[in-house]
A and B are shown apart, each in its own frame.
Chain A
Amino acid sequence: MTQARGSVLARCALLACACLVSACATVSAPPRTAPSPASRPAPTAEDTQPAPAPIPLPPPAASTSRTEPPPPRSTDVPPARPQSDASGASGALLEQSRAQRAAGSLPAARASLERALRIDPNNAVLWLELGELELQTGNTAQAATLARKAMTLAGRDTRLSARAERLLSAAE
């Protein structure tokens, strides 16, 4: 009798445990190709808004529709980042850096790039540009390392990887 009751209890416990296990099993990682959590909202609508004095800006309510839902939780595989040219603030600084470089002001070009990197450190393009700048100033060792750094950030972006390869072979 006591034996039977014991085995029933054990079976109940096991059942309960199995339920818990299956409940836990719902936590799983999204696939590698998960869309990246947008790091910056891309405001566009307010460009067409009329401009009130003294500094024109749309009422904030107009832009609430741009808020994005929280990105999906991803722990096991970090999301791949879309690798295009830098945009927004870091893009503007990249442009500024290119202009300074074209004007022959390499230290200023470098300073602008470093500013962009502080804002957007995961952007392979910025590291590549820095590497190309180093190559131009004859610092080949640093250029090669920067090419390798850019490669680790380029991920599956073949265009960027190829550009990094070119920099690396030029530096070595």
Chain B
Amino acid sequence: MARSSRSKTRKPSRIRGLVLRLTAVGFILAVAYGGYLAWQATSEFEGRRWDIPAQVYAAPLELFTGRALSAEDLVGELKRLGYREDPRLVGPGTYRVGLGRLEIATRGFSFGGDTEPEQLVAITFVGGRIAALRDSSGSRAAIVRLNPLLIGSLFPSHGEDRLIVAPADIPPLLTDTLKAVEDRRFDSHFGVDPIAVVRALFVNVTSGEIREGASTLTQQLVRSYFLSNERTWGRKLREAFMAVALELRYDKADLLHAYVNEIYLGQDGARAIHGFGLASQFYFGKPLSELELNELALLVAEVRGPTYYDPRRHADRALERRNFVLQRMADEGLATNDAVQAAAEQKLGLVDDSRRGAMHSAFLGLVRRQLSADYARDDLERTGLVVMSTLDPAVQTAAERALSKGIEGLGKNAAELEGAVVVTSPHTGEVKALVGGRNANYEGFNRALDARRPIGSLIKPAVYLTALESGRYSLASVIDDAPIVVQLDNKNTWTPSNFDDKAHGLVPLVRALAESYNMATVRLGLDIGLEPIADTLQRLGLKQKPTLYPSMLLGALALTPIEVAQMYNTLANGGFRVPLRAVRSVITEEGELKQRYQIEIEQAANPGAVYALNHALIQVMERGTGRTVRRTLPDEIVVAGKTGTTDDLRDSWFAGFTDSNLIVAWLGADDNRPIGLTGSSGAAKIWAGVLTAIEANSYSAPAPEGVDETWIDYLTGAPTAARCPDAVAVPVPETDYYPHVFGCNGETGVGARIRSWFGGNER
């Protein structure tokens, strides 16, 4: 009995104990969970401060007297940089247009010790050139730079991109407006705002639509950290708890700074635009500090939903929301009624789409590739580096346009046709533009870097250069373009033929290269040997050693457009190899210069031989396979180039250069099907399209020591007088003996010419 009574009395106490214990455990768990949430929120807050992808800038535009640049093109550049036309010329980032002149209040910049002051400059233009440049005192200015264009960043695969704005650079009007629109009691609440919750419930219920949210800025910040879109009470509670935890730990200014740099404000392809600094560049192409009232209001409007209020897709919704924000500014006394009225009448004022990062994704791919040799992925994506690149935005735009328009113009098979363009500066090796496909907006397969295709006749200059360097041949030497059978091994033979299926007999080297004769080239190549030619290719910049098959002589070798550009850059640079570069310097987040990628050159070939070779490449354009496209260029300019076509017309290549630009163009299909285009009928047109859009300079080089010149008949290679038909001057080693001829080579020169008209040139 006693037992039972004891057990009776013990029972409730045991339950009480269990409850107590469970409560204690639950309490400990809740505290632990709360602690965990608080830890999560704060560690995210701390971590985010440093998670900044490397920002990549284009080369700054240099303005100086004599530069080929029209007023219209300069205005285009200014617009790209988000400069605003202002007749009063107030503040940096404005310009004023006059008759044949332009006045600019430049922004100035400072990157790793390289400083350009902001200044007033006036520029006059004559005949598409800058005729004079003056500063505000009226004296001549030698050279002025515009601030470099921000072209994008090396953001990580999760796609978050941002441009950090320091607290001092955040306009107070922005934070005041954010508070007015999103969180009126931000300065006094403790992370959550119960009054706002009640009020929002009331407003939304009575108005029948969701006009106001109750989330504080701190709650929005937490939501942004954890990227969760589930709308549950559990999430709301966690969010609120974390917001309170952050408020306890950090002061309001810190939280506001984090918010301004964190919040999601737009989407650009795979790239998520975070923070007001980047959003300002993304939508208006200018720094936050230069925003007008209406622009600032639009950014604040985007906080509510960058997809729903996307100003590029849903301009009407964005405009309405912007004007709501403006009204709020007036109500709160942040701006005068007049100013708000004026701002509400403004258009959205978005910068041209070409500012968007996806535009430059192909070039950024090259930047990333160059930097990955020296930097870990995390360094590039998280440590806020600043990268000064070599991109020339005007050349990039011209190249993109020339490729897409050029492909459209070709008509046939245009649907499957793809292409790539690389533009470099031959002397410095800087890559000015890179187009990875006909639709430059699409961040996909980067053909300029990754499409590895047989190069066809683009290889021939390496064959002829080797011959010229050997000392056994000059451009005047005569070789036989006659049928040839190459014994590959015991069983197999190879019988190369010419594109026109004809043999052209004895021809000088200059003509064999200009007309891209295959049989003559194979004969020449076998005579000098495959090994020395492979060596030449590597000296010109080829990384891997090509396989020594005879078919190599006609370009069975497969290369990417950027590799072809490296090879031809060495030719355009007179035989000096300079590694192609997309980056000039890297600067730390603190503004210290971290690394400079300087011009480094190496002599890769005999200057006299390269000089002669380049003359033959000029003849390609004047008389050879490039003559059709040559006719579309201005008469007075001198260009050198080479066509490339592969079996069954699968690839169409053209590489050519002047003093200031080397351009490589490739056309083909991604599935490698025939495209029905030769180098001359396809890529050469793209090439010419780029060239005409960017410059009208010539190729020129003084003759090196030890080089003489002689006149020969282009068709036969026989010595001839300068006044004769088909006479062509070719550089030759001065040690070679060439007879000085006064006549026109008798009947042979004219006779050969006439025979060629009647197609009687073959043997």
A residues adjacent to B (C-beta < 8 A): 14, 17-18, 21-22, 24-25, 28-29, 32, 36-37, 39-41, 43, 46-47, 51, 54-61, 63-64, 66-67, 70-81, 88-89, 91-93, 107-108, 110-111, 114-115, 117-119, 121-122, 130, 142, 145-146, 148-149, 151-156, 161
Q: Which residues of B contact A59 (CB under 8 A)?
A: 99-100
7 more CB-based (< 8 A) A-B contacts, given A25-B725, A41-B131, A89-B65: A18-B750, A40-B129, A58-B124, A72-B636, A73-B636, A78-B701, A152-B574
A54 to B88, CA, bound (A): 10
Partner among A57, A78, A89, A130 whose Cβ is within 8 Å of the Cβ of B124:
A57
CB distance from A37 to the nearest CB of B (A): 7
Q: Are B622 and A21 in contact (CB under 8 A)?
A: no
Given contacts A14-B754, A60-B125, A114-B428, contact A80 B101 (CB under 8 A): no
B142 on interface, CB distance cutoff 8 Å:
yes
Partner among B122, B140, B601, B722 whose Cβ is within 8 Å of the Cβ of A28:
B722
Q: Which residues of B contact A110 (CB under 8 A)?
A: 598
Q: Are B722 and A41 in contact (CB under 8 A)?
A: no
Q: Are A76 and B142 in contact (CB under 8 A)?
A: no
Q: Are A155 and B601 in contact (CB under 8 A)?
A: no
Partner among A61, A78, A88 whose Cβ is within 8 Å of the Cβ of B65:
A88
Q: Are A21 and B750 in contact (CB under 8 A)?
A: yes
Q: Which residues of A contact B737 (CB under 8 A)?
A: none
CB distance from B116 to the nearest CB of A (A): 11
Q: Are A154 and B702 in contact (CB under 8 A)?
A: yes
Q: Which residues of A contact B22 (CB under 8 A)?
A: none
Q: Are B635 and A73 in contact (CB under 8 A)?
A: yes
Q: Are A64 and B126 in contact (CB under 8 A)?
A: yes
Q: Are A39 and B100 in contact (CB under 8 A)?
A: no
Q: Are A149 and B99 in contact (CB under 8 A)?
A: no
Mark the stretch among B300-308, B335-343, B703-711 that contacts chain A.
B703-711
| Nearest chain A residue, comparing its CB with the CB of B729 | A76
Q: Which residues of A contact B601 (CB under 8 A)?
A: 142, 145-146, 149
Q: Which residues of B contact A121 (CB under 8 A)?
A: 425-428, 659-660
A60 to B704, CA, bound (A): 41
Q: Are B428 and A89 in contact (CB under 8 A)?
A: no
Q: Which residues of A contact B596 (CB under 8 A)?
A: 107, 111
Q: Which residues of A contact B574 (CB under 8 A)?
A: 149, 152-153
A57 to B125, CA, bound (A): 11
Given contacts A63-B126, A73-B635, contact A89 B62 (CB under 8 A): yes
| Nearest chain B residue, comparing its CB with the CB of A79 | B700
Q: Which residues of B contact A153 (CB under 8 A)?
A: 574, 701-702
Q: Are B702 and A80 in contact (CB under 8 A)?
A: yes
A75 to B659, CA, bound (A): 14
Which residues 101-124 of B sit at the A interface, judged by CB distance below 8 A?
Answer: 101, 103, 113-114, 120-122, 124
B262 on interface, CB distance cutoff 8 Å:
no
Q: Are A117 and B698 in contact (CB under 8 A)?
A: no
Q: Which residues of A contact B705 (CB under 8 A)?
A: 151, 161
**Which of A21, A32, A51, A89 neighbours the largest number of chain B CB atoms within 10 Å of its CB?**
A89
CB distance from A163 to the nearest CB of B (A): 15
CB distance from A28 to the nearest CB of B (A): 6
Q: Which residues of B contact A46 (CB under 8 A)?
A: 132
Q: Are B704 and A37 in contact (CB under 8 A)?
A: no
A58 to B638, CA, bound (A): 34
Q: Are B64 and A88 in contact (CB under 8 A)?
A: yes
Q: Are B702 and A55 in contact (CB under 8 A)?
A: no
CB distance from A36 to the nearest CB of B (A): 8
Q: Which residues of A contact B62 (CB under 8 A)?
A: 89, 115, 118-119
Q: Which residues of B contact A111 (CB under 8 A)?
A: 114, 596
Q: Are A108 and B113 in contact (CB under 8 A)?
A: yes
CB-CB nearest 4 A-B residue pairs: A40-B66, A155-B702, A60-B100, A89-B64
Given contacts A37-B698, A56-B122, A72-B636, contact A119 B64 (CB under 8 A): yes
Q: Are A60 and B99 in contact (CB under 8 A)?
A: yes
Q: Are B425 and A70 in contact (CB under 8 A)?
A: no
Q: Which residues of A contact B750 (CB under 8 A)?
A: 18, 21
CB distance from A6 to the nearest CB of B (A): 15
A29 to B161, CA, bound (A): 56
Q: Which residues of B contact A152 (CB under 8 A)?
A: 574-576, 607, 611, 701-702, 704
| Nearest chain B residue, comparing its CB with the CB of A148 | B603
A-B pairs with beta carbons under 8 Å apart, 9 shown: A14-B754, A29-B722, A41-B129, A107-B593, A145-B603, A152-B611, A153-B574, A153-B701, A153-B702
Q: Are A117 and B428 in contact (CB under 8 A)?
A: yes
A102 to B125, CA, bound (A): 36
Q: Which residues of B contact A21 (CB under 8 A)?
A: 725, 750, 753-754
Q: Are B700 and A75 in contact (CB under 8 A)?
A: no
Q: Which residues of A contact B611 (CB under 8 A)?
A: 152
Q: Are A67 and B126 in contact (CB under 8 A)?
A: yes
A40 to B596, CA, bound (A): 30
Q: Which residues of B contact A154 (CB under 8 A)?
A: 702
**Which of B136, B427, B574 neighbours the largest number of chain A CB atoms within 10 Å of its CB?**
B427
| Nearest chain A residue, comparing its CB with the CB of B727 | A28
The contact string, 1 if C-beta is below 8 Å from chain A, for chain B 123-141, is: 0111101011011101010
**Which of A29, A78, A107, A117 neighbours the largest number of chain B CB atoms within 10 Å of its CB?**
A78
Q: Are A151 and B704 in contact (CB under 8 A)?
A: yes
A57 to B729, CA, bound (A): 47
Given contacts A60-B99, A76-B728, A152-B704, contact A51 B126 (CB under 8 A): no
Given contacts A51-B138, A55-B136, A152-B574, contact A78 B723 (CB under 8 A): no
Q: Which residues of B contact A142 (CB under 8 A)?
A: 600-601
A82 to B636, CA, bound (A): 19
